[in-house]
Structure 1
Amino acid sequence: MKLLQALFFPPEQPGGVSSMIPYLQDRFNPPHWEMEMFSLPKRIRNKGSQSVEFHTFDWHEYKQSPVVQKYIQTYRDYLWWTKLRLQQPYDLIHAHHPIVGLVMKEVFPETPVLMSIHSSYERELILNGVIEENGLEHRFLTSIYKELEYRCDRMFTSSRSFMDYLSPYVDHPEAISIIPNGFDEKRFKPVPHDNEVAQLVTVCRLVPAKGLDILLKACAELKKRGLTYVLHIIGDGPIRKELEELAQSLGIYDETIFYGYTLHPEEFMPFFDIFVLPSRAEAFGSVFAEAALCCLAMVGTEVGGISEQIEDGINGLLVPPEDPVALATALEKLILDPAFRYELARSGSDQAKDHYSLNRVVHQLKKVYLQYK
């Protein structure tokens, strides 16, 4: 069976699609399986010029928005690149971004196209202050889901909460299936260690949606309570300077290390003690599963896929979003009680191995793919 895993940009960032798709190829071996990956190089800009039309809504109603114009041009670019580079037929295409799913069905109308929606672009834009809820861009982006339902042969999400999120925007939400992201355990090697000072770590893109301003305020509260720690922030993004300035103004800059973008954070995450990310929204939150496999104690917010991965007090701690005091209290429990911290870490690691192993996801995918043979 000849498969195409169709991504948007090349997988480079920690978490999400990058955590799973590049590692699938080793599990889909010839002669029974042939798998290729395809993505749009970041250098491709403003190449496409083809007319774009959707079946379920008229995008021209939203064309005055620069965000919508950029989305449509990206669609054209991906369409141009796909037609330029892909000619051979496939038995099945699995797309991992809305633009990709729509383009693949346009270029290969007779080929089954399965669509995995890993995150909500419109929610991220709202939380990052780029667009307004229920505004022009929000309505355009949520209309894309019904177009995907119309064109693609099957739709998947990575968590039940995100499936619930999609339900109002499609006609048949009951047809959406859940396949969580899977992780290759060989990438994660827990390391026994005993840090004298608690080492906190977070890994994410530095954008408002990740709630790092709340994390810094919580760390300032920890310092006010007389607790010692080091906070490691791995990742880069448009608000890095703002976060560095906030750390300075809160008096915790000396306790905070900004690493910038790092390609394989899982290689040194095992040396830390506590993973914390107070996201304002997460479709799944792949980085939590990665942290669990590194055997770190986890603290997250009660949102989206995070609350599906963490059972409070069993394999991690959950706190309300937008609450730095509650976050500080949760972190304090783990800083002061290494035995409890280790208990949560072991439980989290065991659960992640059981529920999010790559082998388990590969088994699910193969069963689905064979339905279209």
Structure 2
Amino acid sequence: MKIALLLSHISQSGVSTNTLDLARGLIKEGEQVVLITSGSMYNENKEIDNLVNKFKDLGIPIYYFVNSSKITRLRWLKIFIDFYSFLQISLFLLKVKPDMVHACSPYMSFIPKLLRIKFVTTLHIPILKPCFRLPQANSIITISRETQKYALTELDYCLENTKMILHGVDEKFGVRSTSHEIENVLSKFSIPLDKILIGLVGTIEPRKGHDILVQAISFLPNECKTRIHVVFLGSTIHGEDITWLTDQINANDLKKNITFVPYRDPKILYDAFDICVMPSRMEAFGLVAIEAMMSECCTIRSNTEGAYDQIIDGVDGLLFENEDSLALSNILKKVILDADLRTSIAKKGKIKALDYFTKERMVRETLDLYKKILN
């Protein structure tokens, strides 16, 4: 089977990571894969280039189209470039002649629709609206119970054309880094070795809830604050101002308690974290939580999209009400002071992730869907 993956751009996002894992898995299953993308949207640091290179290292044909967002904000020129991009992508698809198109970026799905090529699209986040760019696919893949409900109620899909396939992550996250590798990374970024490390992995933007975690830390008693250090792993999307976050950190006198680490492969840092917090105000599914669970971190997340598909609260992870920083603070206090609870949740979370959230399971279910549509 020849499969064309449509990805608007490559970035430090769950969509890009999921597309990379899907491509790897499909190739491993012996399928032919091509990628149509505009490449990386922003290059804040070399890790974005490294992500692009991971796609290249797969050895698959990659077809690049021009993305207007990279070039201009002038409306008339943007319209012209968008039309040119449409022609480019259409010609790529006509040249490749795929059996199946997978629109990993949903708003690209109108192109295979116009070309009358069978396609699926993945609904990553429940805010997209029906429009010309988001036509009905042969089947839509939803990644959580929230996106499933959204596809049925807001996008007018019927249950027969909707398939929930939970994201999976590479099982490399289940293989612990060596103590030497962990210590080297912590030393490189001057992160203390003798503290309970709390990590937040994600782009630095209000949606990811860094400020919610900062406020939760500020509520902790001193006996907890003195035991912990917080690591923010991630960069801004394209260099936005983050005074909304740094001002709050300074106002709560927490600068010495927090280290910022630019976007990089999170694997080793997951292994260094004792606790991983995902306080997002809105998510698609929350791959970070699964990566952290598989890495045997005690994982705490907001009860946004994907939470109840991932975690049984108090068993293999911990949940708090979205934006409730006091509730998060109370949970943090418990797991900081109770090492046995922290360890128990971390161990059960790893077992859960390895049982239900592997890349292999995700690829197998996706392939089954392709075959069902083509038969």
**Corresponding residue for 2:262?**
260
Provide closer, same or farther for how the CA distance between residues 118 and 355 of structure 1 changes in structure 2, counting only shifts above 3 A: same
Which residue does the alignment assign to 1:186?
172
Identity %: 25
Deviations 1:24-58 (A, max 9, x none): 344334895211222123573449xxxxxxxxxxx
Q: Which residue of 1 aligns with 2:157?
A: 172
Q: Please, which of 138, 155, 158 is the counterpart of residue 140 of structure 2?
A: 155
8 Å contact kept, 2:142–2:151? no
Q: Supply the distance in 2 between the matched residues of 1:114 and 1:298 (Cα, whole angstroms).
A: 32
Residue pair 1:215, 1:278 contacting (<8 A) in 2 also:
yes
TM-score of the pair, normalised by structure 2: 0.79
Q: In structure 2, do the counterparts of structure 1 residues 261 and 192 end up closer, same or farther at CA, with 3 Å as the change threshold? A: closer
Distance 1:26-1:45 versus aligned 2 partners, 3 A rule: closer
Tell me the equivalent position of 2:339: 338
> Matched residue of 1:148: which SS?
coil
Q: Please report how far the alpha carbon of residue 147 of structure 1 lies from its aligned counterpart in structure 2 after TM superposition.
A: 6.2
Gaps of 5+ in 2: 42-65, 184-192
TM-score by length of 1: 0.79
Mapped partners of 1:169, 1:95: distance in 2: 19
Equivalent residue number for residue 131 of structure 1 = none
* Alpha-carbon separation, structure 2, partners of 1:40 and 1:26: 19
Contact 1:284 1:306 in 2 (8 A): yes
Given the alignment, which residue of 73, 82, 88 partners 1:81?
88
Cα deviations by residue, 1:95-132 (Å, 9 ceiling, x for unpaired): 111222112323x32x2111111124x4xxxxxxxxxx
Which position in structure 2 is the counterpart of 1:130?
none
Q: Provide the residue aligned with 1:13 in structure 2.
A: 12
SS in 2 for 1:199: strand
Q: What secondary structure sits across from 2:101 in the alignment? A: strand
Asked whether the equivalents of residues 217 and 225 of structure 2 are also in contact (C-alpha less than 8 Å), the reply is no
Is residue 207–residue 239 contact of structure 1 (8 Å, CA) maintained in 2? Answer: no
Counterpart residue number, 2:203? 205
The answer (yes or no) to whether the contact 2:174–2:295 under 8 Å persists in 1 is yes
SS at match of 2:12: coil
Q: CA deviation at 1:226?
A: 4.8
Taking the aligned partners of 2:332 and 2:74, their CA distance within structure 1 comes to 38
Question: Which residue pairs with 2:235 in the alignment?
Answer: 236
Secondary structure of 1:183's aligned partner: coil
Matched to 1:172, the amino acid is: Y
Label 1:226 to 1:90 Cα distance change in 2 as closer, same or farther (>3 A). Answer: closer
Is this contact kept in 2: 1:188–1:266, CA < 8 A?
Answer: no
Measure how far apart 1:84 and its partner are: 5.2
CA distance in 2, matches of 1:115, 1:339: 43
Structure 2 CA distance for partners of 1:219 and 1:357, relative to 1, 3 Å: same
1:143 aligns with 2:130: yes
**2:225 corresponds to:** 227
Aligned residues: 330
Structure 1's unaligned 5+ residue stretches are 48-65, 123-140
Secondary structure of the structure 2 residue equivalent to 1:20: helix
Aligned positions of 1:5-154 closer than 5 A: 5-10=5-10, 12-14=11-13, 16-29=14-27, 33-42=31-40, 44-46=66-68, 76=83, 78-83=85-90, 85-86=92-93, 87-106=95-114, 108-109=115-116, 111-120=117-126, 122=127, 141-144=128-131, 148-150=134-136, 152-154=137-139
With 235-244 and 269-278 compared, the bigger mean Cα shift is at 235-244
Render the CA deviation track for 1:327-356: whole Å, top value 9, x for unaligned: 111011111111111110111111111111
Deviation at 1:224, TM superposition (A): 4.7
Q: What letter matches 2:203 in structure 1?
A: R
- Does structure 2 conserve the Cα–Cα contact (< 8 Å) formed by 1:188 and 1:294? yes
2:213 paired with 1:215: yes
Counterpart of 1:304 in 2: which secondary structure? coil
Q: Is the 8 A contact 1:199 1:272 kept in 2?
A: yes
Q: Deviations over 1:167-201 (max 9, x none)?
A: 33222342321011111102542358796421000
TM-aligned CA distance change 1:40 to 1:269, over 3 Å: same
Could you tell me which amino acid in structure 2 is paired with residue 215 of structure 1? Answer: L
- In structure 2, C-alpha distance between the alignment counterparts of 1:179 and 1:225, rounded to whole Å: 43
Q: Tell me, yes or no, if the aligned pair for 1:282 and 1:306 is still in contact at 8 Å.
A: no
SS at match of 1:116: strand
Task: Give the 3 Å change call, closer, same or farther, for CA 303–70 of structure 1 in structure 2.
Answer: farther
Tell me by how many angstroms 1:165 deviates: 2.7
Change (3 A) 1:68 1:208: farther
Q: Which amino acid aligns with 1:249?
A: A
The CA RMSD over aligned residues, in Å, is: 3.0
Checking the alignment, whether the CA contact within 8 Å between 1:114 and 1:153 is kept in structure 2 is: yes
